[in-house]
Structure 1
Amino acid sequence: MKKEKTIKFVRDAYGKIAKGQRGCCGSTCGTDAKEFAKSIGYSEKDLKAIPVEANLALSCGNPIALAGLKKGEIVLDLGAGAGFDCFLAASNVGPEGKVIGVDMTPEMIEKARDNAGRSKVKNVEFRLGEIENLPLTDNSVDVAISNCVINLSADKQRVFQEIYRVLKPGGRIAVSDMALLKKLPEKVEKSMEAYAGCIAGAILVDEYKKIVEKAGFRNVKVAKKGYSLHSGVYTEDPIIPGNFKKGESLQDYVVSICVEGHK
């Protein structure tokens, strides 16, 4: 896939999701989105700290639970979407802390800012930008989180290099993402819908860990967290189910992972 074409397709797809013109993850919205969030590790208490409109069911795990956020910390969320994890992080770091959400989709940034305004959350900021070129200064954040987003990047090595750059010495990462257990069938791998659906852009679990370590992170841990067809998938491409071997399904290829590491 050509990089520019892929970026445009992904941006357009998520812009439509932000405007309600395209189905969310697994077509879950509203009450279903709340139940989906609970199924991947968010508690009822967590969800009370998050505006309902911010939950677009685009997650594949709970990086906040992994991050161990402390009062006063500065947190970066890569691919913040409508602000789902940002608002929970803002609650955890308190008014003395700050959360910065970065997203490349203008419609998502607009929605996130609207959610912040309506909810009167003061310690969160949303910036338009690409995660391969983060609009932040060096050594400026304590924690970087991301949820089902880095798989969408065509240059994952660059993403983790950028994360390393903006983290303070001793800073840490807490990432939930999708990865592969084995190589996808060719037609699925080439599907643009599968790419936007957090499938075709995913890389092998072992390769993921190597990329993070190559960026300079230490004490890197990558844990498989299991996978359901709901998690991270909102693909509308009908070719996908018909391109697996007999007896196989998407779960045999794709898994959600949690990634930890320190600068």
Structure 2
Amino acid sequence: MSSQENATRDKFNTLKKYYDETWDEDSHTLHVGLFQTGHDSLPEAYANATKHLVDRINTIAPIDDKSTLLDVGCGTGRTLIEICATFGCSGVGIDLSDAQILDAQAYLMELNVTRTTQGLPEIRARFVQGSASELETVINKDERFTHVISQDAIMLVANKQSLFENVYRFLAPGGVLAITDFLSEVPATNMPESDQRLVYSLVNWTGELSQDAYLKVLKTVGFAGVTVERHDADMIRTYQMLADKMQPYTNQQDTMYKELQSRYQHIVDAVKRGKMGWGLFLAQKLVRKTALIAGTKEHSIGRFIGQALHAIGWEVWLYSRSASKVDALSWHERSCDIADENSIKSLLTEIPSLDLVMMLADSGGHGELSELSEDRIKQSVDAKLVGSVLLAKVIERKYSPSKSPIQMVWCAGKPSNKSKDLILYALINAGLVSFVEAINVHHCSLLEAYYLPTGLISPSTLGDEYIHETGAHLKAVAQHPQTILDVVLNIVNQKFAPGVIDQNKKVVL
């Protein structure tokens, strides 16, 4: 946790008693309210705001008893607990403040004891103290949420880019993000000194975002259907009522009451001047197909196919033993030793679902039987045959059952007689063909296996190396990567039956 967030935690631990006493004595709410009538009290307005948030979520992806929620900056957890109790779903709340989390945990424990005595099921929620800037250290990396919510908390997160990237990663495909938050339409440094001190510094608000900046970062991370509702008038009314409510407390020796009243009045004035605001943001993570592909070199056939799939909306994961870690929008690269089961498991823990897996079995070099070393034989068999079996094994264990079969495609040499110096490649090809056939007989409920016979491919990393070593005349007979891509797209679109691909005979139209 950064020093800035430690300071924010300490401030909110200190401020909690003031907020509990003056904001919402019963429910310890701490967010802007929505006013439906001219007579709504603050607690009624707080409840209206939560109800509106849930109602808007349910127009996109309704919450039900199978839903899992993450509440970022959950405070005392009342919103999350209410949602879990209403819909029978489960949830996780995270907050920087130890005091807020202890309050949430104590309230949940007491509520569940009461529910148990009444014969009602326990509310399935848990609360964790931690940094929203470092969600990956707080949330189990295998965990996925159908909905992520936050009420007036993200403004306090130190590293907002990290937060949004992690939220996108932890949100299941089709999941919804719903945020209410403060908006700063001008930089804090352009505000009067008194505003900087009372509105920003008092609660450690930094890295402020305007409405346009919010929309941009959500879209950049990958969210779709991003919308915003402005409720500045409700923010003004909430903070004016709070400022008025503070008046009886300001005569006490404790000057914090007066400080908070001044803060609330400065917020009212800033919103009236158009310098601040309050918005509800909704966004959705699209359901993307996911491909895992071997090959990270600049001109590899794997990268070529990955880039093409990415261009049409796929989530792409490339792997190789020498890869450096890369994370971009729907594009990831990882190091993985395909002949090591633990290495494969580690890779797949990051991938919540799979639709397509591609392995590329090159010749592993040339050599007659008498020239093959023991190490070279083992390396080739490990990388192509052992790796194929281990990958299929781990995939079956992790993703079973699956709504639809995962397509596994091996690009390898034609399963026919080979020249004398390709005897090892002949073994690998024959082994892969047999393995593909066995998968389709015994494991077809989860896996669809395809063997795509390919010749020399150029431009490509390995193909061009072979042409350089053997002779430029081979370039004339080499296949372009686009030829392979066209077949892969036909496989994805189910125009080929599983098995050894024969483009002339195995088309399923």
Shorter chain as normaliser: what TM range?
0.7 to 0.9
Distance (Å, rounded) in 1 between the aligned partners of 2:227 and 2:194: 28
Contact 1:70 1:92 in 2 (8 A): no
Give TM-score scaled by structure 1 length: 0.76
Compute the TM-score of the two structures, normalised by the length of structure 2.
0.41
User: Which residue of 70, 90, 96 corresponds with 1:98?
Assistant: 90
Aligned residue for 1:29?
A: 24
1:165 Cα deviation after fit: 1.1
| Cα drift, residue 242 of structure 1 | 9.8
1:110 match:
102
Residue 55 of structure 2 corresponds to: 65
1:13 and 2:11 are equivalent in the alignment: yes
**Aligned partner of residue 42 in structure 1, secondary structure:** helix
Letter aligned with residue 89 of structure 1 = I
Contact 2:182 2:279 in 1 (8 A): yes
SS in structure 1 at match of 2:186: coil
The CA distance in 2 between the partners of 1:261 and 1:188, in whole Å, is: 35
Aligned residue identity for 1:250 = A
Counterpart AA for 1:224: R
Matches within 5 A, 1:115-134: 115-120=107-112, 121-134=122-135
Number of residue pairs aligned between Structure 1 and Structure 2? 237
**Worse-matched range after superposition: 232-241 or 143-152:** 232-241
What CA distance in whole angstroms lies between the structure 2 residues aligned with 1:239 and 1:110?
29
Q: Does 1:255 align with 2:255?
A: no
Is 2:225 the partner of 1:219? Answer: yes
Cα distance change on mapping 1:257 and 1:138 into 2, 3 Å: farther
- 1:194, 1:237 within 8 Å by CA — same for their partners in 2? no
Distance 1:241 1:118 in 2: 33
**Kindly tell me: are residues 200 and 73 of structure 1, through their superposed partners in 2, closer, same or farther at Cα, counting changes over 3 Å?**
same
1:84 matched to 2:78? The reply is yes
Question: What per-residue deviation string (whole Å, max 9, x for no partner) do you get for residues 130-159 of structure 1?
Answer: 111122225611000000000111221211
Higher RCO structure (Cα 8 Å, ≥6 apart) = 1
Question: Does the 8 Å contact 1:188/1:200 carry over to 2?
Answer: no
Q: Which residue of 1 aligns with 2:164?
A: 160
CA contact (8 A) 1:139 1:168 kept: no
- The amino acid of 2:283's aligned partner reads G
Aligned CA distance change for structure 1 residues 32 and 4 (closer, same or farther; 3 Å): closer
- The reply on whether 1:182 has 2:190 as its aligned counterpart is no
CA distance in 2, matches of 1:103, 1:162: 15
CA distance in 1: counterparts of 2:15 and 2:97, whole angstroms? 10
Indicate the RMSD between aligned Cα atoms, in angstroms: 3.4
With over 3 angstroms needed to count, the CA separation of the structure-2 counterparts of 1:16 and 1:211, relative to structure 1, is same
CA gap 1:98/1:39 in 2 versus in 1, 3 angstroms: same
3-state DSSP of counterpart to 1:71? coil
| Counterparts in 2 of 1:105 and 1:191: CA distance versus 1, 3 Å | same
Q: Residues of 2 paired with 1:204 and 1:10: CA distance? A: 21
Q: Does structure 1 conserve the Cα–Cα contact (< 8 Å) formed by 2:76 and 2:103?
A: yes
* Residues 78 and 66 of structure 1: CA distance in aligned 2, closer, same or farther (over 3 Å): same
1:52 matched to which residue of 2? none
Please state whether the residue corresponding to 1:65 is helix, strand or coil: helix
Distance in 2 (CA, whole Å) between partners of 1:259 and 1:138 is 26
State the Cα distance separating 1:62 from its structure 2 match.
5.2
Aligned partner of 2:175 in structure 1 is 171
Larger radius of gyration: 2
What corresponds to 1:204 in structure 2? 210
The Cα of 1:42 is off from its aligned counterpart by 2.3
* Corresponding residue to 2:236 among 228, 242, 247: 228
Shift of 1:174: 0.8
The answer on whether the counterparts of 1:63 and 1:174 sit within 8 Å (CA) in structure 2 is: yes
Task: Give the match's secondary structure for 1:132.
Answer: helix
Q: For the Cα contact (< 8 Å) 1:187–1:243, is it kept in 2?
A: no
Please list every run of 5 or more consecutive structure 2 residues that lacks an aligned counterpart in the other structure. 30-40, 113-121, 244-255, 286-509
Over 3 Å counting, the alpha-carbon distance change for 1:122 and 1:240 in structure 2 is closer
C-alpha distance in 1 between matches for 2:70 and 2:164: 13
Unaligned runs of 5+ in 1: 47-60
Quick one: distance in 2 between partners of 1:243 and 1:223?
A: 23
**1:50 alignment partner in structure 2:** none
What is the percent sequence identity of the aligned residues? 18
**Residue aligned with 2:238, SS:** coil
**Residues 231 and 153 (structure 1), Cα distance of their counterparts in 2 relative to 1, 3 Å cut:** farther
The 8 Å contact of residues 64 and 145 in structure 1, kept in 2 or not, is answered as no
The verdict on how the C-alpha distance between 1:119 and 1:188 changes in structure 2, with shifts beyond 3 A counting, is: same
